[in-house]
Amino acid sequence: LRLRSSFRGDYAQGMTLDTRYATYSGLAILGVKPRADLEWGIGLTYSDNFFTKQILPFALYNQTFNDKWGIESVLPVQIMGRYNFTPLSMVLFGMEYQSQSYAIDVEGKYAETIHPYYFKHSEVALKASFDQYLGSWIWLNLEAGFQLPVQTRFDDSIDAANSFQSRAGAQPFFNLGLFLSPTGRH
């Protein structure tokens, strides 16, 4: 079970906890690990934000085929192959569906008129990521790939006639990060 709240918006005077910017989400999964090299599960994800409420089912399937190769997936949004160089160094490669949404305030013709737009973007990311254990619980993550846009929309919450779509081509991306995870060696 996972519950989360986040606020995504264009804040004129610093961050605010206005519900117009809020996204509430939850996830529940029932998982089974019948063997050390196989785990699977089914679950539901719930999202409630400024433009929609949705409940979606998903399936988890992770399998290690040998000491080097495996698969990690959350269907229908992610499927990744895994290659372990060592128990402390691996690469993941595959595709993932990603989406983001934000509330953006656009000033109207008159300064006191504000049009709240809702920006919605979705893409399929073709990517590879490299994870390397650094010490203690600290890991390094390098990720690169291409983002293939599925949809980019700006919806005017007051007048739908002012809504529009944007077209964008594939874009490369690169991420560098650190994360915490136990190694099983402690």
**Which string of DSSP letters, residue by residue, matches 62-97?**
EEE-SSSEEEEEEETTEEEEEEEEETTEEEEEEEEE
pLDDT at 23: 83
**pTM of the full structure:** 0.78
Distance of alpha carbon 68 from alpha carbon 73, whole angstroms: 17
pLDDT the model gives residue 118: 82
Question: Is residue 186 included in any domain, yes or no?
Answer: no
142 belongs to a structural domain: yes
Residue 165 CA to residue 152 CA, distance in Å, equals 6
Query: Is residue 185, in this structure, part of any structural domain at all?
Result: no
Residue 101 lies in a domain: yes
Cα separation of 165 and 167, whole Å?
7
| Residue numbers of the chain with a pLDDT score lower than 50 | 186
pLDDT of residue 186: 45
User: Among 175, 9, 5, 7, which Cα is nearest to 92's?
Assistant: 175
Q: What is the DSSP letter of 184?
A: S
Query: What pLDDT shows up at residue 158?
Result: 76
- Domain that residue 143 falls in: 2-180
Our count of domains for the chain comes to 1
Do 136 and 185 meet the contact criterion of CB atoms below 8 Å apart? Answer: no
State residue 99's pLDDT score. 86
